[in-house]
Structure 1
Amino acid sequence: MTLGQLANQVAAGEIDEKARASKWQVFRDIREAKEALGATDRALAILNALLSFHRADELTAEESLIVFPSNEQLIRRANGMSPATLRRHLANLVTTGLVIRRDSPNGKRFARRGEGGAIDQAYGFDLSPILARAEEFKALAAAVQAERKAHRLVKERLTISRRDVVKMIEAGINEGVPGNWQGFMRRYEAIIARLPRTAARLTLETICNELEDLWVDVHQTLESFINSQNPNANESQSERHIQNSNPHVSSTDESEYGLEETGEASGVGVKNDNVRALPSRDLPLGMVVDACPELLTLARDGHIRTWRDFVEAATQARPFMGISPSAWQEAVEVMGPEKAAITVAAILQRSDRIASRGGYLRNLTERARDQKFSVWPMIMALLREKLDAHAKAAGNNGRSVTDPADGDRGVTVEISEALRKNMKKKGWER
């Protein structure tokens, strides 16, 4: 006897008379929280066998909860084990407070029946703690499930961050972008070297945060290079391309942004040169989601963790944008599913300025077929617009800003933590 066992016996004796619980549901909760409870797998197999000796599916305080099977019966129902193993794991059930021993004077398990066959006195294993602690087991199971989900999500974050950082570093090296790429690579390797084979969630979160800081630095280096190549072509022209290359775009958008036909015509030639000068590597997923947050409203559970999720969300957005299946299929065949999805997401982000989204997608598909279109300038323009909006709001120390393109509608633009760090490094947020 220990104080913990005595406390379990006291709790079992104070069960509410109206208490009831499904024995198999409580068993599932116990199985989920077995590590927190300290129960072993073999002990749970024995507990499952003990519960099977209780005839009703529900445990209630109105009836006896003592079962008294022999060791031979328990061994058969527990799929076979040696008597020594049985005794060891029965002791585990008692130690963890899942059952209570009700020993007879001679240590055997049996029941005395009275008139009518009703049990007057029983000696064996008392299942009362399972009923008394049913809510505790349920809460423990929910906590274990939440921790498992959080661990899975942080592992997904880690995978995406590693992939995006490596892709951006490779793009910078292969495209000859000026930057301390060897330093970035050493920094990345130093972070990953601290990643153990089996890591706790807090360890993974710490490594993820460091990788995301590295992501911001590498992303800023690439963005600065693209902007320095030709700011007018890479930012303004790419924005004009999204807004006005389509002949169906409304004239109010043109007047709002002060666009002229001569400027548009002169930008086309420069645009083609810039397409060849842009990185040939794929865009990192995190960068694209930052640039096109509208697509998150159509994503499953409001999260995009993989390129498959991104393409699926773009496929869901297609009918709402009035894009025909044939236009989407053609874009996928010419650009590939990921770049087609990026294009659709960028069009969705600017949907209030594009009248015919399907026609515009076909236009961009034809340009991509002639190798005159790249998704890099389109995404960079959206990111620049997002950062510029927050730069204007920096004087008010705001965390969100109303997009001027939305007039008086008061649409709030949310930014990710990565972009916020980027802004701090440029001195736009104090």
Structure 2
Amino acid sequence: METDGIATPFGQRAMTLGMLASQAIVKTIPPEASIDKWKLYRWLCEARPKLRISDRALSVLNALMSFYPKTELAAGDSMVVFPSNMQLSLRTHGMAETTLRRHLAALVDAGLLMRRDSPNGKRYVRRDREGEIGEAFGFSLAPLLARAGEIEQLAAAVTAERLLLQRLRERITLVRRDIVKLIETALEDDLAGDWMRFEAEYRVQILGLPRIATPEILAPILSALEALRSEILKCMEYQVILHNSAGYPDQTERHKQNSKPDSKSDLEPRFETKQGGHAEFQPDTLAAADRTVAAKPRNPATADNPLNHDRVNSPQRPLGAGPEPHKPYPLPLVLQACPEIVPFGPGGTISGWRDLMTAAVVVRSMLAISPSAYENACAVLGPENAATVIACILERSGHINSAGGYLRDLTRRAERGEFTLGPMLMALARANGEPAKRAG
């Protein structure tokens, strides 16, 4: 049983207000109070960050609780355990005696243990004739029973904070993936928009992610990323809606009834959708279509229709000219994705497309790419994009066996509409510009 007097520490250890507070809390334990000691220990493990104790101190506390013979800590029982330092060391897997003393002092300072020192400072017990404990000196577990409700609440708060942090990290990961994929799609499909600004804002937010995150830090970053994603979506959806009003090549058009059954359907040009998604006139009907358009008088009813104007009067590229070169990507994005080509520019810098194309000629010779392969790439992709491809090949030269063969293969795929430069650039930009992986 516990004594009602004040327990002061032995020797040179000073009495503290924390010790006095722990002894005062023990006196408030209700007579019917009890708690499963291992359930209480699990709460202690959950609430450890709030209690500011180390995991090794919890190991020492676990060893002390194992010396208590009963499963439940109950008021009215003697909750003093009195193992020697040698026994404690064995149950803490050989912990050194000095380390044991340090962690025991930390548990006392945290108010989880209470010292009941004997007159000579030793830990022992006095028993009566029936073998029952009369008086024991050692460490009292009574503060654990007195603070059981507080410890449970702290454990619940830590668990809730951990789940909130996990959800914030998951949402940040999803929003980051959305932003990267949307920017890649916009660049690949040549959509209008300030994509470099979006990329810069995205990286500013990512750099704000700390290595050890808290909900207070992640919440504003998540809000900023969600706002950026909404802005990107709004920009893309507006252009997609405008594009959709004219119809996609693979969509089913509404049925148009011909009110002149005697008209020759053979005079209408036929479309064939290639793999790149561009519809071109077939050569066997192009001449007939041109003659029909030239001979047909202008209809005032359809003259103001912009769709009809585009279908009749839009200029067509000559047959056999190959695919139309793609629009070049922003030069800052190219230099961010391929920084290794910069020293090959005039004066060791690249300030414009002319400098990049000059550097590409130098790198082409260095990579043993034939002039014919490079000229073919310029004809198919355009000189700016061909120079960009050379920069990408230089960036990955350690993983490419034959740079010339690789360039010819990319050119052939571009002719068939199977290759676009956007995904390659974005992958290199992330590899060269992505900060170290952090929380979220």
Per the shorter chain, which TM-score range? 0.5 to 0.7
Q: Is 1:69 aligned to residue 59 of structure 2?
A: no
1:146 aligned residue? 160
Query: How do 1:309-328 residues align onto structure 2 when only pairs under 5 Å count?
Result: none
Amino acid at match of 1:187: E
1:44 aligned residue? 58
Q: What stretches of structure 1 of length at least 5 have no aligned partner?
A: 242-262, 278-430
Cα deviation for residue 63 of structure 1 reads: 1.0
Q: Is 1:105 aligned to residue 95 of structure 2?
A: no
Amino acid at match of 2:97: P
1:292 aligned residue? none
Cα deviation for residue 203 of structure 1 reads: 1.3
Amino acid at match of 2:55: D
Q: Is 1:202 aligned to residue 216 of structure 2?
A: yes
Query: How do 1:21-420 residues align onto structure 2 when only pairs under 5 Å count?
Result: 21-231=35-245, 233=247, 264-265=254-255, 276=277
Cα deviation for residue 80 of structure 1 reads: 0.9
What do the CA deviations read for 1:394-418 (whole angstroms, capped 9, x no partner)? Answer: xxxxxxxxxxxxxxxxxxxxxxxxx
Separation in structure 2 between the aligned mates of residue 161 and residue 276 of structure 1, nearest angstrom: 30
Cα deviation for residue 276 of structure 1 reads: 4.6
Q: Decide which structure has the larger Cα Rg and report it.
A: 2
Residues matched between the structures, number: 249
2:340 aligned residue? none
Amino acid at match of 1:265: H
What do the CA deviations read for 1:217-268 (whole angstroms, capped 9, x no partner)? Answer: 100011000111133748xx99xx9xxxxxxxxxxxxxxxxxxxxx8435xx
Separation in structure 1 between the aligned mates of residue 164 and residue 129 of structure 2, nearest angstrom: 57
What do the CA deviations read for 1:18-51 (whole angstroms, capped 9, x no partner)? Answer: 1110000101110111121111122111111111
Separation in structure 2 between the aligned mates of residue 24 and residue 183 of structure 1, nearest angstrom: 56
Q: What stretches of structure 2 of length at least 5 have no aligned partner?
A: 1-14, 257-269, 279-440
What do the CA deviations read for 1:260-310 (whole angstroms, capped 9, x no partner)? Answer: xxx8435xx99x99x958xxxxxxxxxxxxxxxxxxxxxxxxxxxxxxxxx
Amino acid at match of 1:47: L
Of 92-101 and 181-190, deviating more is: 181-190
SS in 1 for 2:122: coil
1:313 aligned residue? none
- The 1:107/1:218 distance shift into structure 2, 3 A limit, reads same
2:342 aligned residue? none
Amino acid at match of 2:194: N
Structure-1-length-normalised TM-score? 0.55
What do the CA deviations read for 1:54-103 (whole angstroms, capped 9, x no partner)? Answer: 11111100211011111111111111111111111110110001110001
State percent identity of aligned pairs: 43
Amino acid at match of 1:198: I
Separation in structure 2 between the aligned mates of residue 210 and residue 148 of structure 1, nearest angstrom: 22
SS in 2 for 1:115: coil
* Structure number having the greater helix percentage: 1
CA RMSD of aligned residues (A): 2.5
Separation in structure 1 between the aligned mates of residue 220 and residue 277 of structure 2, nearest angstrom: 38
Of 94-103 and 78-87, deviating more is: 78-87
Cα deviation for residue 201 of structure 1 reads: 2.0
Structure-2-length-normalised TM-score? 0.53
